[in-house]
Amino acid sequence: MNKRTLAISGAAIAALGAAAILLPNANANPDETSGAKTFSSPAAVKLARSLASDLGDNGAGWYYDGANRQLVMNVMDQDSADSVRAQGAVAKVVQNSMAELKAATETLSSDASVPGTAWSIDPVTNKVQVTADRTVTGAKWATLTKATGQMEGTVSVRRSQGEFKKFDGGEAAQPGDNGDNGDNGGTGAGDAAGGAGAAGGAGDAGTGAVGGAGDAGTGGAGDAAGGAGDAGAGGAGDAGGGGDAAAGGLDGGDAIFGGGARCSLGFNVSVDGAPGFLTAGHCGNESQTWSSDQAGAQQVGTVQDSQFPESDFALVMYDDATTQASSTVDLQNGSTQEIGRAVEASVGLEVQRSGSTTGVTDGTVTGLNATVNYGNGDIVNGLIQTDVCAEPGDSGGAMFAEDAAVGLTSGGSGDCTQGGETFFQPVTAALEATGAVIGAGDGGAGGGDAAGGAGDAAGAGNAGSGNAGAGDAGDAGAGDTGAAAGAGDTGGDTGQSLN
């Protein structure tokens, strides 16, 4: 064999060796994104549900990658990965099946249920994420680590600098204490626990919506935390978000007072045509009656159903059956967000929260089917875990995504200075349990797959868009012309389902 032949043979062998190294690595990459499509969040959710149904046990959860606008599906084998990629989603071959992850949560519940712990299924890491707050030390830490040590590869443990607690607050803590001053149009509630002002709920400018604050009308809560005042009767002037039709009603995120506690209203609802609202169950357990002012002079509603622990929601019915409670959330800046439907949360969903202490904050859903142990036997299951901040007094407040109700603030660790994690009761579960619907009148806004979720054909008509909450000019609530809002797939962009 001559030198040229040897050189060629040597090069061929080297090339084959390189291929032997590269090909396995290429096949082993479970996060291959070539050819993946971009999706809006609603489109991603719709495709994810369809793919999850088709995959069955070969699927292991999914999440929305908001940064890249891609849907990521966890799968158990390569054939499933190929079918996922064919639909334009990113396929991620993972180790743990959904059945294994759920089994891990059951083991934690039986073997590691110690106060100050929480866990949820995290599809991003394909593990059960366990969080232990700063109180988990000594014997409690030993119990936790003994249980999790036997589930290596399935469970991940991390520490939180804060302490898990329910976010109800005492009446001494006023709305806006931790927010910006109401005069500056921030998230606070005004100069003195709601911007005072002789008109209380309306303000001279009349620009607030069910709680425009004081003389500046910048969106605080007023003397009655969003209530009446001499000129208000629960709403602003003709140009406001509430209008005459919303007299007496409050918005999501407004302060409510009862039994020495201050909480926040979640979402206005109706039950068989009667007006009411949802808030946290641990708030509902504090008092049978709730007022819009700290003194209790303006009672607004009576608890009809309160569930805590295990779940964390309460249904409060307005005492005045003629109350026209608009389906809106207070954005704490003089404006409101119309809510026409309810959806189930998904990991990666971008959300906002409105509460009477910290105003409006935002973040992302990070885990589902979460369990949190607040101590003293107060263990709540089936919650939504987020990186949204909250503080005492925000309990019961509204978590929403655009025009869709998502959750009711329960509790968590941290605050809005240092951050932390916050847990929310899914609104869809609360609606199903109470028979309530989002909005008032006309059968509610958006029926959908899960007691208020915006399904393909549900939520059409006047529900969630009619005159209630529209103001005299009809600008804020869309008036009678907004019939398509909340209509799911049949309602165009404004009614497109997030879930």
User: From CA 331, how far away is CA 328, in angstroms rounded?
Assistant: 9
The token duo for 39 is 């999706």
Q: Which residue among the candidates 270, 356, 395, 497 is catalytic per the annotation?
A: 395
> Which stretches of 247-292 are assigned E, i.e. beta strand?
255-258, 261-264, 267-271, 274-279, 289-291
User: From CA 263, how far away is CA 254, in angstroms rounded?
Assistant: 8
**413 is known as an active-site residue:** no
**180 is known as an active-site residue:** no
The token duo for 180 is 């910006």
Residue 119 Ramachandran class (φ > 0 left, ψ -120 to 50 alpha, else beta) = beta
Helix, strand, coil distribution of the chain in percent, nearest 5: 20, 30, 50
Radius of gyration of the chain (CA): 25
Measured at the alpha carbon of residue 326, what is the angle toward residues 180 and 476, in degrees to the nearest 5?
70
User: From CA 445, how far away is CA 189, in angstroms rounded?
Assistant: 29
| 3-state secondary structure at position 101 | helix
The token duo for 155 is 């469970």
Q: What are phi and psi of 86, to 5 degrees?
A: -65, -20
| 3-state secondary structure at position 353 | strand
**282 is known as an active-site residue:** yes
Q: Which residue among the candidates 120, 282, 292, 327 is catalytic per the annotation?
A: 282
Estimate to the nearest angstrom the gap between the alpha carbon of 446 and the chain centroid: 17
> Which stretches of 44-84 are assigned E, i.e. beta strand?
59-65, 70-75
271, 303 Cβ separation under 8 angstroms = no
Per DSSP bridges, beta strands 127-132 and 155-159 are: parallel
| 3-state secondary structure at position 465 | coil
Estimate to the nearest angstrom the gap between the alpha carbon of 394 and the chain centroid: 13
Q: What are phi and psi of 334, to 5 degrees?
A: 95, 0
User: From CA 229, how far away is CA 221, in angstroms rounded?
Assistant: 11
User: From CA 218, how far away is CA 210, in angstroms rounded?
Assistant: 12
Q: Which residue among the candidates 251, 293, 312, 442 is catalytic per the annotation?
A: 312
The token duo for 30 is 């479970």
Task: Supply the residues annotated as catalytic.
Answer: 282, 312, 395
